[in-house]
Amino acid sequence: MTFERAVELIDDTPTVVIDWEVVERNVERMARLANERMVNLRPHMKTHKMNALAELQMRNGAVGLTVAKLGEAEVMINSGVRDLLVGYPIVGQSHVRRLFDLAAQAELTVAVDSWDVADPIAREARRRSMVMAIVVEIDTGLHRCGVGPGTPAVELAQRIVDTKGLEFRGLMTHEGHAYACSTIEELRDATIAAGMAMKNTADELTRKGIPPKVVSMGSAGTARFGIGLEGVNEFRPGTYVFNDRTQVALGACGIEDCAVVVIATVISRSQPGEAVIDAGSKVLSSDRKLTSGSNATYGEVANDSECQVIRISEEHAILSGGMAGALSVGDRVAIIPSHVCPVINLSDRVSIVGIGDGIVDQIVDARGMSR
């Protein structure tokens, strides 16, 4: 079923619609790439937050999943996933206790980037007579979380190895700084540089007698360059499952690979050449394209890239360009979002097309799980 058919069938707007056939194609393509290059795939579920999508990824060969927050981990464990990387610093005693409660139910690995994060985990592990698997997060250029590559990462890893209650599992990074690159060549070079920093750190650890089992990178936008880099044996893309305008701008996919639209209704034509729709920032989010030098709007109409969401408020969005001037009050449009991850998280439920002839109602199982 095409999105045009979904526009006809859906009366209640705004509604987030997922094309299941496109999702399956996206998942299979990434799984095939990882398999061909002999790299383990551990997708980040922050994009879809749904049990059904997690099951699809696992059926297609994922070794496990990545989560950010413990609430997401709880949902995934309840759905049957038994191998999770918590790729986020767990800070605060209540969070540490929850981490170990979950570790009693599934195989968990958690990322740390400082001894301040690792030490409370070690103390709780000893208190419970458990061992927590740890990966050291490395900052390869994003300058968000992460310890520096080389000596700083090696020193932290050595301290983990020497601490009862902790098991050093390996290294991870998120090369998200590549999204700011202005050309595909720059993006490729940034990805390769991040991979080299990871390999060099892993080599130094090996020389110290503590070879990492896992060397993990992760970003949908860099996957085609990062999967298969020497020394990297795991990759953690997220957005690829749906894709969005940012991924298109990065050259990671085509517009036909975008699996999510927001069906919206024109509610006003107060300004010439513009149309007001009923999907504002509470549906589309306030995120624009995440790439450098791109047309930084909030979304575009499917099949009319000139018709874009140029302005947004909580309950309203303004379309301009392309077909916007010809729309009438009551018309419906399908909007491809610029950043799909928050769009899913803003929705309690979504509608899925492409499974049979109708529309399937789907709960977003981990929606709002930010703790």
Tens digits of per-residue pLDDT, 115-148?
Answer: 999 999 999 999 999 999 999 999 999 999 999 9
CA distance 166 to 108: 12
pTM (2 d.p.): 0.96
Give residue 1's pLDDT.
45
CA distance 337 to 342: 10
233-242 core/surface letters (b: 16 or more CB in 10 A; e: else): bbbbbbbbbb
Give 267's DSSP letter.
E
Mean pLDDT in residue range 83-109: 98
Q: Tokens 């509610």 map to which residue?
A: 267
The helix/strand/coil state of 321 is coil
95-122 core/surface letters (b: 16 or more CB in 10 A; e: else): bbebbbebbeebebbbbbbbeebbebbb
CA distance 50 to 29: 20
The CA R_g of the chain, rounded to the nearest whole Å, is 22
Q: And the tokens for 201? A: 């750190």
**In the predicted structure, residue 294 carries a pLDDT above the cut 80:** no
Q: And the tokens for 219? A: 């970003």
Work out the pLDDT band at 194, boundaries 50, 70, 90.
very high
Query: Residue 316 phi/psi, 5° resolution?
Result: -130, 150
Work out the pLDDT band at 367, boundaries 50, 70, 90.
very high
**In the predicted structure, residue 292 carries a pLDDT above the cut 80:** no
Q: And the tokens for 216? A: 């993990």
CB atoms within 10 A of CB 329: 11
Work out the pLDDT band at 218, boundaries 50, 70, 90.
very high
Give residue 26's pLDDT.
98
- Give strand pairing partners of 214: 170
CA distance 17 to 249: 22
Give the contacts of 310 (CB within 8 A, at least 6 positions apart): 297, 298, 318, 319, 320, 321
Environment class of residue 354 by beta-carbon count within 10 Å: exposed (0-12), middle (13-18) or buried (19+)?
buried
Give residue 6's pLDDT.
76
Q: Tokens 């799980």 map to which residue?
A: 369
| C-beta of residue 147 within 8 angstroms of C-beta of residue 198 | no
Closest CA to 87 of 240, 218, 220: 218
Give the contacts of 366 (CB within 8 A, at least 6 positions apart): 45, 49, 50, 71, 72, 75, 76
Give residue 289's pLDDT.
75
Q: Tokens 């301009």 map to which residue?
A: 320
CB-facing half-sphere around the CA of 91: CA atoms within 13 A: 8
Q: Tokens 């650890």 map to which residue?
A: 205
